[in-house]
Amino acid sequence: MCGRFAITLPNDAMAQLFSASPANDLPEVPNYNVCPTTQIHVVQGGEGGRRLVSMRWGFLPHWYKAPDGGPLLINARAETIATKPAFRDACRQRRCLIPVTGFYEWTKDEDGLRWPWYIHGEGPLALAGVWQSWKGENGPVNTCAIVTTGANRPMSAIHHRMPVIVGHEDWALWLGEAGHGAAKLMTSAPDDLLSFYQVDRAVNSNRAAGPDLIDPLDEG
């Protein structure tokens, strides 16, 4: 799964990287502790070109009567996304990319304590996502979820799931700009794409902030 991440790229740099027009209400960056239900950066495709917009991380199916009207859907499993009622239409029609600098995963020690790991690549990563416009009392709310798949060999030492990472050469295909065939992209990342290291347990709090959250843990 993917339940927390960091984004440090400035908004204008993000827009340039994805060749996207930026919205005016983008979340503040850097953010080293992006949590579910907050607004995150999302790249959408469309007839007018790509847009970098803000969306709620936590997919809301159309039948939810309120944001807390059902389970919190921050991830969508690649294996079932095409058949699950919540995601199947979005999988076909409303795919997006979610820029991150890195993401967190946790392991437990023998005492049951949760220890966080920071997972990253050599540069920004584009996670596969799906989005949904939900009709709220005060108007439409755009929401999204991160697509996950089985972990690759290195990641499996930390967790059995990982986000689907879309390479630059496949962005157009995932966004629906290059025809059909996006389903083939929902696989685990190559074993050599990511690196990871343990970080301080401070990030276990969703109120924690600051660049020190991604500093390697000083085991000395």
List all residues 6 or more positions away from 17 whose beta carbon is below 8 Å from its beta carbon: 9, 99, 124
146, β-bridge pairs: 75, 129
- Residue 96 appears among annotated catalytic residues: no
For residue 211, cis peptide bond before it (omega within 30 degrees of 0)? no
Cα distances (angstroms) measured from residue 197 to each of 7, 31, 116, 184, 213: 17, 19, 9, 29, 12
Please identify which of the residues 2, 91, 96, 144 carries the catalytic annotation: 2
DSSP 168: G
- Residue 2 appears among annotated catalytic residues: yes
Please identify which of the residues 96, 105, 169, 177 carries the catalytic annotation: 105
For residue 30, cis peptide bond before it (omega within 30 degrees of 0)? yes
Give the residue numbers marked as catalytic.
2, 105
